[in-house]
Amino acid sequence: MKAIRLEKPGGLDKLGAVDMDAPAAPGPGEITVRLKASSLNFHDYGVVSGAMPSEDGRIPMSDGAGVVEAVGRDVTEFREGDSVVSTFFPKWLDGPAPVADFKGTPGDGIDGYAREAVTRPATAFTRAPEGWAHEEAATITTAGLTAWRALVVDGGLKAGDDVLVLGTGGVSIYALQIARAMGARVFATSSSDDKLKRLTEMGAAGTVNYKSDAAWGETIAGMTGGRGVDHVVEVGGPATLDQSISACRIGGHMALIGVLTGRAGEVPTAKMMAKQQKLQGLIVGSRAHQIDMVRAMETTGIRPVLDRSFPLDQIADAFRHEESGAHFGKITLSI
């Protein structure tokens, strides 16, 4: 079967197609999945670019969606022909987070889904939303579940809340859709006026171009009548956190997800303390969270926003498209 491997030290020119043996037949508790799609995330880019070093020859990609081809003994949750989607932490099934690293994450600590088939424990997958294309389902593993956990699991999102999303990447777009579907009001930032227009068309109540408005946090707070938003989906990191604190209400919740502007920086602790805000770091979620999210997607009718799809052997071009920042929503791979 065909697969993509990453040679050390990383870099898009170090991604190469290889032929490898088909996966072994599933043993007890395992399933074999014919993979149909994956989707790109900033974490995947960190791995393939070499910024997050991995083993030589690693198969990248954390997200995988496809069809069950074979079922091992004792598996009752899935049958041949079922559409499934992978989980980010295959061993985190439920309860509080037991992991603080990526040693068990596909595409990082272990081989990922840039290949045609895989045999894994059945618990490394959940069913995909009914009627979704595989490219759509592949967006759940990382981006979709991160937004779901930030707002619903950790944030306790409720109708009438105000939410701020930063930019137009996969997590932010999913957060906008989830918040809107649950009766919340959403505000958004971008450096592109064209993208801000699209966000408005998707239901954003207010938008700000952060390139032309350096004090965008205060501007967002002003749009709420000065109260500030209840939730911030903070994907930027050190360069955006100060403005996010300004945008967030007293006692509000900020979900610290991304490091798009760097891995370290100053935190205005006195400002955050004065506003008595909660800053909670998170990395994706558990299998139980994903099962809940799949059910919610079916109930609400949310469908992910897809930007562009690339064939597997054009994976480097897909990441170059991500590098450009031109995308709106999720970039996917068709396998």
- Give 263-277 pLDDT, tens digit per residue: 677 788 899 999 999
Percent of the chain with pLDDT strictly greater than 70? 99
Q: Is the pLDDT of residue 259 over 80?
A: no
pLDDT (mean) for 295-320: 97
Mean pLDDT, all residues of the chain: 96
- Give 134-162 pLDDT, tens digit per residue: 999 999 999 999 999 999 999 999 999 99
CA distance linking residue 170 with residue 213, whole number of Å: 23
Q: Is the pLDDT of residue 235 over 80?
A: yes
Cα torsion angle, 286, 298, 86, 24, sign = positive
CA distance linking residue 305 with residue 325, whole number of Å: 15
Q: What is the pLDDT of residue 287?
A: 98
- Residue 84 Cα distances to 33, 43, 66, angstroms: 8, 22, 6
Q: Residue 262 — pLDDT band, cuts 50, 70, 90? A: low
Percent of the chain with pLDDT strictly greater than 90? 95
Q: Is the pLDDT of residue 299 over 80?
A: yes
- Give 58-75 pLDDT, tens digit per residue: 999 999 999 999 999 999
- Give 181-214 pLDDT, tens digit per residue: 999 999 999 999 999 999 999 999 999 999 999 9
* CA torsion angle 146 154 151 163 (round to 10): -130
CA distance linking residue 169 with residue 261, whole number of Å: 14
What one-character-per-residue DSSP string does 128-195 give? PPTT--HHHHTTIIIIIHHHHIIIIITT---TT-EEEEESSSHHHHHHHHHHHHTT-EEEEEES-HHH
CA distance linking residue 176 with residue 196, whole number of Å: 13
CA distance linking residue 19 with residue 297, whole number of Å: 36
> Where do the domains of the chain lie, and which CATH numbers do they carry?
2-141+285-334 (3.90.180.10), 145-281 (3.40.50.720)
**Which pair of structure tokens corresponds to residue 87?**
């989980």
**Which pair of structure tokens corresponds to residue 171?**
């997590």
Beta carbons of 248 and 268 less than 8 angstroms apart:
no
Strand 30-39 and strand 65-71: the pairing is antiparallel
* CB-based burial, 253-285: b 16+ in 10 Å, e otherwise: bbbbbbbbeeeeeeeeeeebeebebebeeebbb
231 closest CA partner among 284, 167, 152 = 152
Strand 278-281 and strand 2-6: the pairing is unpaired
Q: What is the pLDDT of residue 238?
A: 85
Q: Which helix H or strand E contains 253, and what residues bound it?
A: strand 248-256
pLDDT (mean) for 61-90: 98
3-state SS class at 242: helix
pLDDT (mean) for 234-248: 93
Q: What is the pLDDT of residue 261?
A: 59
pTM: 0.96
330 closest CA partner among 133, 39, 87 = 39
pLDDT (mean) for 166-181: 96
Q: What is the largest CA-CA distance in the chain?
A: 61
**Polymer length of the chain:** 335
Q: Which helix H or strand E contains 323, and what residues bound it?
A: helix 315-324
Q: What is the pLDDT of residue 260?
A: 60
Q: What is the pLDDT of residue 266?
A: 79
Q: How many CA atoms lie within 13 A of 248 on its CB side?
A: 28
Beta carbons of 296 and 177 less than 8 angstroms apart:
no
Q: Which residues on neighbouring strands pair with residue 117, listed in sequence order?
A: 34
